[in-house]
């Protein structure tokens, strides 16, 4: 479909001739690129002729697919201006690239950070751009994951900056400051949710602090530390976007985080990013792809990651199998997660980003597995185990566990316990900003509908809706 006509597009015609692509060939390439992104396009040689001779402009994201198709043929990037299809909107390709070379990886990541922060600061900031909203596609993970599996670590990442850009030489202290920022942001996210106003500090830090460092000079060792720190921050930005329901932004941050982890040569961190992708895919009802992502994290990290880290990857795999309705595979993954966690020791060199994971988290996720599999007795068992352990600092997780507990108690017919857990969950929900928490609460209210004649359920529903309306 076209949205306008502006007269002959000589720029597009000239580049088609330079690339030696026929109208039919370009149409085929555009359709194929669209299919990779979950789009069904049916352009033909007549469509391309209209673009060239009548200047018709196809709807987004087709102009960007045209530029990508021509760029692939020419072996270089093709900006929209060069083909006469420029506009003022962010490109749908933003953040979806997984460049083979490190300099291009830096460009791709920093461009995402820049555009996202501009969107947050613009009118109605804090939500992803309307021109990119609804563009999440699990298929977009295919190329990044395959490239990471083939080459999970780059060669030397040492860099000498262009003198007129910066003369600064990055040291280990600079990377350490970014890691400290990531740790502080993780604590804040766990306590207040991804939608808290301070979450904007993460993209701010990436753009203002991390980007200039990536463009400065550094040795290979310092560079790997720097890329690792920026990968942690970028994954966290994706996680916060996921928690607030901005899946388009989350996907782009995850892809860039995986690419930065490869530059860092940090395979476990790359696995952690894949685990985050898996949780998102399962949440968006793509369980088969979620299984693939979790298993990719596991396979690449065998013999490399610590026992605690591998336990978490097995647990994420279990979540995906449960979403797929595969009870035997889920049980096997849960058993592997428990066995690996039993092997964890205080002296293990665990990365700081896995410090949240202990038996209470394993029990909480096991409860959600059995919820998806429809085994309420197991949900009650594991939820009670999870809630019996302290969750200081992990307010959102505690709230989600309470909601799952309330669901399980309601399904088991214990309305008193369900309402008690629900009331506590409502209190927690009022203290955090999390789209996921809201969706869990909505699901709880739906499951309590058969008991709406009960006054205690009416009271709980009223309080919950008040919190949902104001959060």
Task: Please tell me the predicted confidence (pLDDT) of residue 221.
Answer: 97
H or E element: which one contains 4? strand 2-5
Residue from 370, 401, 400, 374 nearest 388 by CA: 401
d(CA 400, CA 409): 14
* pLDDT bucket at 1, cuts 50 / 70 / 90: very low
- How is residue 332 written in tokens? 């096997």
Residue 88: pLDDT over 50: no
Task: Write down which residue in 242, 265, 288 finishes a domain.
Answer: 265
User: For residue 235, is it within any domain?
Assistant: yes
- How is residue 325 written in tokens? 């309705």
**What is the percent of the chain with per-residue pLDDT over 90, rounded to a whole number?**
66
Task: Please tell me the predicted confidence (pLDDT) of residue 197.
Answer: 47
d(CA 244, CA 211): 24
User: For residue 177, is it within any domain?
Assistant: yes
User: Does 68 share its domain with 169?
Assistant: no
User: For residue 257, is it within any domain?
Assistant: yes
User: Does 46 share its domain with 112?
Assistant: no
User: Does 371 share its domain with 447?
Assistant: yes
Task: Please tell me the predicted confidence (pLDDT) of residue 256.
Answer: 98
User: Does 103 share its domain with 77?
Assistant: no
Of 54 and 277, more confident: 277
User: Does 240 share its domain with 117?
Assistant: yes
∠ CA 95-111-185, rounded to 5°: 80
Of 82 and 308, more confident: 308
User: For residue 233, is it within any domain?
Assistant: yes
User: For residue 286, is it within any domain?
Assistant: no
Contact 205, 411 (CB under 8 A): no
User: For residue 104, is it within any domain?
Assistant: yes
Which whole number is the average pLDDT over 336-364? 96
Residues 6+ apart with CB under 8 A from 285: 323
* pLDDT 10s digits, 229-249: 999 999 999 999 999 888 999
User: Does 388 share its domain with 240?
Assistant: no
Residue 3: pLDDT over 60: no
Which whole number is the average pLDDT over 290-295? 98
Residue 270: pLDDT over 50: yes
- Give me the number of domains the chain comprises: 3
Average pLDDT over the chain, rounded to an integer: 89
User: Does 103 share its domain with 168?
Assistant: yes
d(CA 63, CA 44): 15
* pLDDT 10s digits, 194-227: 776 455 689 889 999 999 999 999 999 999 999 9
Which whole number is the average pLDDT over 403-432? 91
Residue 119: pLDDT over 80: no
* pLDDT bucket at 36, cuts 50 / 70 / 90: low
User: Does 122 share its domain with 75?
Assistant: no
User: Does 111 share its domain with 254?
Assistant: yes
Indicate which CATH number applies to the domain containing 13: 1.10.260
Contact 233, 185 (CB under 8 A): yes
* pLDDT bucket at 193, cuts 50 / 70 / 90: confident
Task: Please tell me the predicted confidence (pLDDT) of residue 65.
Answer: 85
Q: Determine phi and psi for 127, rounding to 5 degrees.
A: -115, 155
Which whole number is the average pLDDT over 158-169? 71
Task: Write down which residue in 213, 236, 265 finishes a domain.
Answer: 265
∠ CA 191-194-199, rounded to 5°: 95
* pLDDT 10s digits, 122-132: 555 556 665 66
Task: Please tell me the predicted confidence (pLDDT) of residue 59.
Answer: 76
Task: Please tell me the predicted confidence (pLDDT) of residue 164.
Answer: 44
User: Does 28 share its domain with 105?
Assistant: no
d(CA 272, CA 4): 44
* pLDDT 10s digits, 303-343: 999 999 999 999 999 999 999 999 999 999 999 999 999 99
User: For residue 224, is it within any domain?
Assistant: yes
User: For residue 174, is it within any domain?
Assistant: yes
Indicate which CATH number applies to the domain containing 385: 1.25.40.10
Task: Write down which residue in 81, 109, 132 finishes a domain.
Answer: 81
Residue 5: pLDDT over 60: no
**In angstroms, what is the C-alpha Rg of the chain?**
24
368: containing domain:
358-471
User: Does 184 share its domain with 50?
Assistant: no
User: Does 257 share its domain with 110?
Assistant: yes
């Amino acid at each position: 479909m076209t949205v306008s006509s502006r007269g002959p597009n000589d720029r597009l015609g000239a580049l088609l001739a330079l690339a030696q692509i026929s109208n039919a060939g370009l149409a085929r390439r555009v359709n194929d690129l669209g299919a990779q992104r979950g789009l069904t396009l049916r352009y033909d040689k007549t469509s391309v002729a209209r673009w060239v001779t009548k200047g018709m402009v196809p709807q987004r994201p087709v102009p960007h697919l045209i530029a990508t198709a021509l760029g692939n043929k020419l072996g270089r990037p093709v900006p929209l201006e060069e083909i006469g299809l420029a506009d003022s909107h962010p490109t749908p390709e933003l953040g979806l690239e997984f460049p083979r070379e490190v300099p291009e990886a830096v460009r791709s990541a920093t461009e995402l950070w820049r555009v996202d922060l501009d969107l947050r600061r613009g009118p109605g900031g804090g939500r992803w751009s309307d021109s990119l909203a609804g563009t999440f596609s699990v298929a977009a993970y295919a190329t990044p994951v395959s490239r990471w599996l083939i080459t999970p670590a780059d060669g030397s990442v040492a860099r000498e900056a262009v003198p007129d850009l910066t003369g600064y030489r990055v040291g280990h202290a600079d990377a350490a400051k970014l890691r400290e920022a990531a740790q502080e942001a993780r604590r804040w996210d766990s306590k207040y949710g991804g939608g808290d106003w301070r979450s904007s500090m993460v993209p701010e830090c990436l753009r203002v602090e991390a980007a200039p460092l990536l463009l400065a000079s550094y040795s290979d060792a310092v560079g790997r530390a720097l890329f690792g720190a920026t990968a942690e921050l970028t994954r966290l930005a994706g996680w916060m976007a996921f928690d607030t329901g901005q899946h388009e932004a989350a996907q782009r941050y995850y892809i860039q985080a995986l690419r930065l982890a490869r530059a860092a040569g940090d395979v476990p961190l790359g696995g952690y990013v894949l685990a985050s992708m898996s949780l998102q895919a399962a949440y968006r009802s793509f369980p088969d792809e979620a299984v693939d992502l979790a298993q990719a994290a596991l396979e690449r990290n065998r013999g490399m990651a610590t026992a605690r880290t591998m336990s978490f990857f097995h647990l994420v795999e279990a979540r995906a199998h449960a979403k797929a309705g595969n009870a035997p595979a889920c049980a096997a993954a849960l058993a592997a997660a428990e066995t690996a966690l039993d092997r964890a020791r205080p002296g293990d060199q665990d990365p700081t980003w896995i410090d949240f994971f202990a038996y209470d988290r394993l029990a909480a996720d096991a409860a959600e597995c059995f919820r998806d599999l429809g085994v309420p007795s197991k949900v009650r068992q594991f939820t009670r185990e999870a809630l019996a352990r302290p969750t200081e600092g992990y307010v959102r997780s505690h709230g989600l566990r309470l909601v799952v507990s309330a669901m399980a108690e309601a399904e088991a017919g214990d309305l008193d316990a369900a309402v008690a857990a629900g009331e506590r969950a409502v209190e927690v929900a009022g203290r955090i900003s999390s789209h996921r928490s809201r969706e869990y609460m909505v699901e709880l209210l739906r499951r309590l509908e058969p008991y709406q004649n009960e006054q205690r359920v009416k009271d709980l529903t009223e309080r919950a809706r008040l919190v949902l309306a104001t959060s």
